[in-house]
Amino acid sequence: MSNEAASMPALPLAGLRVVEFSHMVMGPTCGLVLADLGADVIKIEPVPEGDGTRRLVGAGAGFFVMFNRNKRSFAIDTKSEQGRAALLKLIDSADVVTENFRPGALEAQGFGYEALRARNPRLIYCSLKGFLAGPYEHRTALDEVVQMMGGLAYMTGPPGRPLRAGSSVNDIMGGMFAAIAILAALRQRDATGQGQYVKSGLFENNIFLVAQHMAQFAVTGKAPAPMPNRISAWGIYDLFTVKDDEQVFVAVVSDTQWKIFCEAFDLPDLYADKTLATNSQRVAGRDRLMPRLAACFACYTKPELSAKLERHGLPFAPVTRPEELFDDPHLNQSGGLLEMTLPDGSITKLPGLPIEFGNGREMGEGRLPLRRPPPRIGEDGADLLAELGYSREEIAALAAEGVVRLAE
């Protein structure tokens, strides 16, 4: 733990214990949110190799290090009698259990909700699954699966070419909704003294994301077009190519901004054109408006155009690659990136939760700190067993028998 983190006032969820049975993204995201907010999140990993997410390559290579900071690792044989006994003692001390394995997997090992509730009636048990209750609930789901069947891929790609979003949006948001449900259940426990079972669904999260398009159809009676072919709600809401083949997104979403825009770019004839006076008219006049703006913006470099738009308070966004964000001045100066040591010993900076506590008057004040880097396999097993009352000799015996893996 860093000296800075140690000097911080107690975090909102300090004192809350969470036992996490999870892998990949959805379950670990839920634990990440709770851990960043101060909960003691204990990640249960299989022995001897730990969470398989650690060994993913390609697009999955960053999953483990991104979604497992501020957690403790307990690598244990959940099928052995000794391992089960230790885990049950740990769960007896917990406020929350989370899991995102296939339906029935934990129940078969005696770690399902009903079995644990009988031991600990105050326990909040959260399952993160592909689907909530219904005809689909036993299907296997992935982020891409629910994007395809839930309309998001259709809306993202051009007609005839459904395209998944460029991030694990449902997994991440599904984990966030699970954390919200857990916090609500804890609040209810304060009033009733009883825990409960809560569940978050990947498919249902995707449906929530496309709800605005469902509502558009309900209001207009017209099927929404995929985003590349959509009729924009605003006259100027587009990506433009500037010098050196760079790209900048520019938006003008009000009549006040239209006046400012025309003055800023010395376009008095466009502002004087009564057929472009309102946003609705500009939407109708896009065919003749866009070529004029494209020619105007082509005279600028990306930094020049960005600076001018920012100076006049107009919405804009230079197109940025993920790897360029490590050097983003706002993220670096505002505490938005957390420097951490990865399990292989390398050092990087990764995004913190996008929230802030306190008055926010000082740069970085109120951002949630890094308390622990992503753990090595079994890094905290010895400490956890000691907390549960195991002697040094008993811990050594469990390690020798392969029941637990302790970090070297």
Show which residues are catalytic. 171
CA distances from 325 to 336, 340, 351 (A): 11, 16, 10
Spatial contact of 61 and 68, defined as CB atoms under 8 Å apart: no
Residue 318 preceded by cis peptide, ω within 30? no
Alpha-carbon gap, residue 37 to 14, rounded angstroms: 8
Alpha-carbon gap, residue 9 to 293, rounded angstroms: 51
CB-based burial label for 58 (10 Å; 0-12, 13-18, 19+): exposed
**Hey, is 225 helix, strand or coil?**
coil
Q: Are strands 196-201 and 337-341 parallel, antiparallel or unpaired?
A: unpaired
Helix (H) or strand (E) holding 248: strand 247-252
With both helix axes pointing from N to C terminus, report the angle between 302-311 and 255-264 in degrees, rounded to the nearest 10: 130
Spatial contact of 71 and 375, defined as CB atoms under 8 Å apart: yes
With both helix axes pointing from N to C terminus, report the angle between 211-220 and 202-209 in degrees, rounded to the nearest 10: 50
Per-residue DSSP letter, 373: P
Alpha-carbon gap, residue 405 to 390, rounded angstroms: 15
Alpha-carbon gap, residue 79 to 218, rounded angstroms: 51
Name the residue among 68, 168, 64 with its Cα closest to residue 370. Answer: 68
**String of DSSP letters for 175-196:** HHHHHHHHHHHHHHHHHHS--E
Q: Which two tokens stand for residue 167?
A: 């991030």
**Phi, psi (degrees; rounded to nearest 5) at 71:** -120, 160
CA distances from 28 to 68, 73, 153, 346 (A): 6, 12, 24, 21
CA distances from 297 to 44, 163, 178, 241 (A): 54, 29, 44, 7
